[in-house]
Structure 1
Amino acid sequence: MFQLVEVELYVLIIALVFRNAPYFIFNFCDLQLMIISLSSLQFLERLDLSFNRLRWLPQDFSQSLPSLQELRLDHNLLQHLDSTSLVDFENLRKLDLSYNRIRAMDVRAFSSLSRLSLLNLEANRLNVLKDGLLSRQQRLEVLLLSHNNISLIENEALAPLRSLTLLGLKGNQLEHIRFKTFLKLQTTTTTTTHLQLSFNHWTCDCELQRVFGKIRRVQHLHVDDYKDIICHAPAQQAGSFLESLDSQLCITETASVLVITITVVLAVIGTLVKGEHNWKTNKQTVTCLWSN
């Protein structure tokens, strides 16, 4: 591992001496900004920039690394990914961006990474998984999004992922999910897509139970941690395992609907009876007046 202080000078020396080396690990100590020249590393296949203090990536970061297949940027201070930093990584297979502070990503940030098989975004600060972000990732096999703040997965966000075998979403802010969102994970092979969904803020109601029931009946989908899914709301279900509630949620909801329906029907009948009674009373009054 290289301990660098005068970044540009040392990287230039390393680039000249090890220009054909397939794998580099750089440790920039307390470096706040990464401004380095990688112009002589066109044959580099693996680059490890983890455990630094990188806050951003230069726009031309990927230009001189056409052969790169694995890039580690985990455990840094990155907050944003734009569409230019990764644009030339057409051969990249593995990208690790875990344990950063990423809140937002340009929807085109990964548009050039069509060969990507593993994308690790764990332990960031993402709120939404947007449509179009993964539009070119048909070869992606592993997508790790656990321990973010994700509360919404947009309808088409997962639709392009035809080769996915593992989707990690543990420890987010999900309250509800839509069955159609996961049904679109139609793999082109017979491989099962494993889902990890525990430790979210699940609102346990009949709809959620139905969604999980449908997912578990789909042959190519498997919820690995279904037994660990715990209700966060409503208050009377908080702390309960969804599995232990079985069909109680839907039975309770059906019973509530029946009670409301019966109450409404009785109210309508009561109104009709009262109206009929008033009509008869008024009719009798009118008859008496005419008689007099």
Structure 2
Amino acid sequence: MHDVAGPDVPRKPPGFNGFSLLCGLLIGLVMAIAPVMACPASCHCIEKSGMTVVQCVSRDLEKIPLDLPRDTVVLLLASNRITHIPNHAFRELHYLQELDLSNNEIETVDAAAFQGVSDSLLVLDLSNNRIQSVPKEAFARLRAKISLSNNPWHCECTLQEVLRELRLDPETVNEVICHTAVQEEYAGKPVIQVLDSGINFCNFHHKTTDVAMFVTMFGWFTMVIAYVIYYVRHNQEDARRHLEYLKSLPSSSQISKDFDTISTVL
């Protein structure tokens, strides 16, 4: 007699067991974590007291690295050749507390440069760079202690409005100097000293704008008057020439006399 075949029972593939399943899960977990823990080739990452410190000091960097670990708490980028802080440069670093960009060649800071870290950032060092001005939005909502010393600041209305909202490092605040200013007499003086004296660069800006508008309007008015005078004189000259031409023509009486003389002769 032949055995009657029962219902098909699913069989495990050869070599399949619980250990293989566990290995697959571990590999997937490692692959998911790897991008978070990756360290840029030009930097050195250190785990310290449960925090990731990314050290990129004096690495001759021209740009901020893009592949920074997402759990970075301290990012040291001092003494490089970085010239620009672009929008969303640190957007993925939600745990970032300290950012050192001192002693670079930074000239421009985009409006959304620190967007994404405004809530977590506690210390920001931008000292010893080449920054002259920043957009009003660049440091919006930042609660960090900020060092802006030893930059060639141009003191004007926008800078005044920016500084009004910042928590400047008290140890370096007197080193934030007006390299140039809309009012030349304040060049070379600490910004905080100028502002504490009651100077309002925004008022000066408005006055300068008003004067510029007045000068522009006066210039246009002068041009219009000059054109009208030229137009009148030019038309007078044409009228005079036309009148002289008419005077040079023989009068009708003279023409009649000439005609009578000719008739008599004939």
TM range (shorter): 0.5 to 0.7
Residue aligning to 1:202: 153
Residue aligning to 1:222: 167
Q: Which amino acid aligns with 1:172?
A: N
The CA RMSD measured in Å over matched residues stands at 3.7
**Is 1:138–1:161's contact at 8 Å kept on the other side of the alignment?**
yes
Q: Whole-Å Cα distance in 1 between the matches of residues 181 and 162 of structure 2?
A: 22
Q: What TM-score do the two structures reach when normalised by structure 2?
A: 0.59
What is the deviation of 1:92? Answer: 4.5
What is the deviation of 1:169? Answer: 0.7
Which one of 143, 162, 182 corresponds to residue 99 of structure 2?
143
What is the deviation of 1:278? Answer: 2.3
Residue aligning to 1:122: 78
Q: Whole-Å Cα distance in 2 between the matches of residues 83 and 109 of structure 1?
A: 10
What is the deviation of 1:232? Answer: 2.0
Which one of 239, 254, 257 corresponds to residue 212 of structure 2?
257
**Is 2:63–2:83's contact at 8 Å kept on the other side of the alignment?**
no
Residue aligning to 2:136: 179
1:268 and 2:223 matched: yes
What is the deviation of 1:174? Answer: 0.5
What is the deviation of 1:291? Answer: 4.6
Residue aligning to 2:144: 193
What is the deviation of 1:138? Answer: 1.7
Q: Whole-Å Cα distance in 2 between the matches of residues 252 and 170 of structure 1?
A: 32
- Residue pairs, 1:22-41, within 5 angstroms: none
Residue aligning to 1:160: 116
- Residue 274 to residue 217, structure 1, CA distance change in 2 (3 Å): same
Which one of 223, 247, 270 corresponds to residue 200 of structure 2?
247
**Is 1:95–1:120's contact at 8 Å kept on the other side of the alignment?**
yes
Q: Structure 1 unaligned runs (5+)?
A: 1-62, 72-80
Residues 63-103 of structure 1: CA distance to partner in whole angstroms, max 9, x if unpaired?
8xx7x9xx9xxxxxxxxx548976x99x75323333x2432
1:108 and 2:66 matched: yes
- Residue pairs, 1:57-68, within 5 angstroms: none
**Is 1:82–1:105's contact at 8 Å kept on the other side of the alignment?**
no
Q: Which amino acid aligns with 1:193?
A: A
- Residue 109 to residue 102, structure 1, CA distance change in 2 (3 Å): farther
Q: Whole-Å Cα distance in 2 between the matches of residues 134 and 278 of structure 1?
A: 68
Which one of 55, 58, 69 corresponds to residue 96 of structure 1?
55
Which one of 213, 233, 236 corresponds to residue 281 of structure 1?
236
**Is 2:112–2:137's contact at 8 Å kept on the other side of the alignment?**
no
Q: Which amino acid aligns with 1:241?
A: P
What is the deviation of 1:119? Answer: 1.5
How many residues in Structure 1 have an aligned counterpart in Structure 2? Answer: 199
**Is 2:107–2:131's contact at 8 Å kept on the other side of the alignment?**
yes
Q: Which has the larger radius of gyration?
A: 2
